[in-house]
Amino acid sequence: MKQRIYKNLAIASFLFGGILACTPMDDYKKFIGDGEISYTGRVDSVKIYSGEERVMVEGLLISDPKVCGCLIFWNNKMDSLDVPVERTEKVDTLRQIINLPENLYNFELYTYDQFNNRSVPVYKTGHSYGKNFISRLTNRPLDGTPISSEEGLSVKFLPVDKTLGPIYTVISYTNNQDKVDTVHIAIDQESFSIKDYKLGSKFSHYTLYIPDTLCIDTFKTVMQTDVVPMTKISKKNWEITDFDTQEETGEQGGKYGWANQIIDDDITTYWHACHTCNPRPPFPHWISFDMKETNEVTSFELTPRQDGGDPFKDFEILGSMDGTYWTSCGEFTLKNNRSTQRFSFTKPCTMRYVQIYMKNDYSGQPYTYLAEITLFK
């Protein structure tokens, strides 16, 4: 008798276990008690793509050919959308745009068949961006005033906060064919040159943002317009007209030391006050040059010698129309390092001839050096 009971229990356990084993593998059916509830196959690989006052719901329909629609709920099921589905024999893609105000949303997705049998839910979160997000975007700041020259436009940028997703800075400019053109500059690129920039023209720029990796829209800042770059004055025809001293025998095997090397557009060469002279000429030192044309100069750059030595300290820039009568354009102090340093006049200085008048230095020696001077208008 006991053997018969154990045998019947074993058969029942086997049958019941077989039913339960099949159920999780079948997306369509589940047994509860002695009744049967049919479930449709759910949406697979669901993603919620963010956007500007919208989201895009995307997923795959893989397992159930009977699915004929998908219900999408949000706002605690207070809002919903019924999306019709036409299944094929292949894997189908569900893709639906939903226009939504700026907010973070929790979504529930159910598929259903013609008998209104539903799938188990799929839960996903998505973000709709709007005016509040856009108001926080900032244009990437320029690092100083851009410089234009015969070689093109040179622009430098400062770093920008990356938490909001900046990707590019876009410059809109006029090229040498008088046509408006644009360039995209990667957000990590600190400087950029535009070779076909029309000298003397203005340009505009803005910054593009993508706030997350699933965003389908690109956001941009308000365009900064009518940026006027400084124009580098060409040194092609410049000529040294006067100096108080130079190293006549040349530095480093006769390669460096002459006054004309401060206007050769090469910061690896330099002028050197004579230090082989006996006695060595004391401060002040000066160099004058002719630009061969009158310019309204607004600023200038000085580059000290790059391979050593202390630069001069206090100096003055003077201008002249004839090379005889000089007017002071301003007094300045050069920092004690080897970087190129930019200075601006309090007002534009109109001149053809230029003189740099060096008063003293940092080391207390009577000699000094200079690699390059560059003027802007």
Secondary structure (3-state) at 25: helix
Is 173 part of a structural domain of the chain?
Answer: yes
Which pLDDT does position 30 carry in this prediction? Answer: 45
In our burial notation (b when 16+ CB lie closer than 10 A, e otherwise), range 254-282 reads: eebbbbebbbbeebebbbbbbbeeeeeee
Average pLDDT over residues 215-233: 93
Is 164 part of a structural domain of the chain?
Answer: yes
Share of the chain above pLDDT 70, in %: 90
Q: What is the largest CA-CA distance in the chain?
A: 133
Domain that holds residue 247: 239-376
Query: Is a pLDDT exceeding 60 seen at residue 130?
Result: yes
Is 53 part of a structural domain of the chain?
Answer: yes
Cis peptide before 146 (omega within 30 of 0): no
Which pLDDT does position 123 carry in this prediction? Answer: 98
Beta strands, E only, 77-209: 79-84, 92-99, 103-112, 122-129, 147-149, 152-156, 166-174, 180-186, 191-194, 203-209
pLDDT tens, residue by residue, 283-317: 999 999 999 999 999 999 999 999 887 899 999 99
Average pLDDT over residues 83-98: 95
Is 190 part of a structural domain of the chain?
Answer: yes
Is 264 part of a structural domain of the chain?
Answer: yes
Average pLDDT over residues 117-122: 96
Q: Which of 132, 82, 84 is nearest to 104 (CA)?
A: 132
Is 199 part of a structural domain of the chain?
Answer: yes
Query: What is the domain count for the chain?
Result: 3
Average pLDDT over residues 154-183: 95
The pLDDT mean for the chain works out to 89
Task: Answer yes or no: do 253 and 284 share one domain.
Answer: yes
Is 219 part of a structural domain of the chain?
Answer: yes
- Final residue belonging to a domain, choices 195, 211, 231: 231
204 and 225 in contact (C-beta within 8 Å)?
yes
Burial status of residue 175 (CB atoms within 10 A of its CB: 0-12, 13-18, 19 or more): middle
Task: Answer yes or no: do 251 and 350 share one domain.
Answer: yes
